[in-house]
Structure 1
Amino acid sequence: MQGQERFERYTPQFPLPAEISNMSRQDTVCQFCGVSYLIHNEIKALEEKCRKLEADLAHYAGTSSREAALEKSLQTEKTRVTDLESTVAINTHKINEMTRKHQLVQDQLQQSECAHQDTKTSFAQCSLTIRKLSNPVETIRKEHFILKEFYSKQIDNFKTDFLTTKMTLQKEIQTTFDKYLKQMNDYRKELDQCQQQLSESKQSFRDLQVKYQQLQLDTKESQTKIQNDFEAAREEIHLHQNELSHLHDKLSQNEQLRLQLHNELEHLKEQSQQYQQQIIDRDESKKNIDRLVNQYRQELTDEKELRTKADSELEHLRSKLTQLTTEYEELNSAKKEVETNEINNRRKLDEANRSRQAVLDRTRDEYEKLLRKYNDLDEVYRELVTVREKESSESDTIRRELERLHNENIELTKQKETTYITHDIQVKKLRESYAVKLREAEQWPDRLQSELKHEREQQRTREL
């Protein structure tokens, strides 16, 4: 009835023209099967749309895998960016160390320049003294020779220091390069280990499935075993109850014997009071009576020890009885859990049967199924369109993020190259300034000789 009502309410998407709707029934209905040609065409159009929608669904079926692959590539890019950031931090630290060393070299150069200025001032003073004093020329020559040796030694020391710093920098660069190669090899090894762990986890999952099946078999065996243990525990409780009744009887007998002994002891005490005078005269009889009293006392202590021992055994049996009752309760609870699991499994089977019956009921009318499928596919098509738009927007954002990361990587490499270039330029400048200063230091003796010659000529002219 519902299918017929839905069929009566259904109106075609495009109404028929008047010339077709006014045609006779013989022209629009098949004489053999009784189906309208127009409904047949409409159903064929719906089937064609369903095929197109199924093709679109097959096309969009791999979106989740592609999205997972994109997320995986994004994660790898993020890890690579973090690695690059760490390498940039290490390189900045090394650049700071190199700048510090460069600053130390500049300080040493400034100190040498200050020493050079001091030597210049001392040389000017010496020239003044030479102009003033013409006689101690030999002493000045000796001082000049000493200064020349001193500055040559300083220059040699500075050369050796420069060579050592150069060698240390080369060694540090080589060690950092080797360290990066080692890290790359370690990363490759870790990747291989992760793949091996993945295969091992898959194997362990298969083993767990086998263990689960084995556990199901073991649970069935344990149920039978629990039932047998329950019967054995019940028999053991019955035996312990018989033992308890026997011990109660024994305790009552011991109590009667203790009372009898107590009465006999009282009677002996009375006899001892009566025959006290006779005991004084008869020491032997007194000793015998004392022995009897000690014997009776020993028997009384033995009876007391037996009573305490019986009490301890009774407490032990009580604790064992409580333990057995707890085990009995645990077995009952386990049995109840097994029964509840069986009830749940039966309920699940009933639900599965009901759902299967409902599916069979839903698939009776083929025309309603076709219309429902068309509507569902139309909705799925809309959802797929929205998913496609969402995925395109997400892919655009991922692409922009990857481009940004690539640009940042390019900027970092450019900064690294600029720092290396500036460092090389500074080293070249230091080398050039050092070469200029070496040339100036080598020209000092010639200048000194020329100035001495000039002073000698002036002295000769003055003497003439």
Structure 2
Amino acid sequence: MDRHIPMHALPKEIQQMSPEETVCKYCGVSYLILHEFKAMEEKLKAVQEELKFYQGSIEREKRLQEKLQSLSQEFEKYKTDSESKKERVQHASMQLKKQQNEFQRVQKELSHLQLELKIKQKQSQVFSQRLSEYKYFWNKTLLLLTFTKRELTSIKYEINDNFQNWTSLKGEVFLQIKSISDTALAGTKGYLKKKKTL
């Protein structure tokens, strides 16, 4: 506790006052000392409060130490968790990168397949058009073949009829030739007989 030492002398008015004016008639204490006592009492109260604060500070410090230790343990736990999570994040990042590479590969393959599909679609359109043309020609050819078959059947029947006519005509011609031949042969024999007789 610091002792209060006045830095300045008392004003002349107070120094010139008589002791009866500066002393309390009830307790006999100088007003100046009484004032000093009051100030000292206030300081004492403040020091007592501060002492109470410091007395409680040991317990608070102990609680704070326990809390600090608990927080330190939690910090270590969080640090371990953070490292574990960091490893998991790195692993997930690698997996994501692999997935992105795979996605890009599949996307390229899909683009290639789409291009091939477009080419195949164009080829299919060309083949479809050709098929339509072939189908048209096939139908035309089928109609022509059907017509040709009918014509051939008709020609076959006509040839058959002509052959039968020719066969019968040949028989008649053969008979006529034989008859002419027989007549000629008989005439020749008669002529020869006449010639012999002459």
TM interval, shorter chain, is 0.3 to 0.5
TM-score norm. by structure 1 comes to: 0.22
Structure number with larger C-alpha Rg:
2
More helix by share: 1
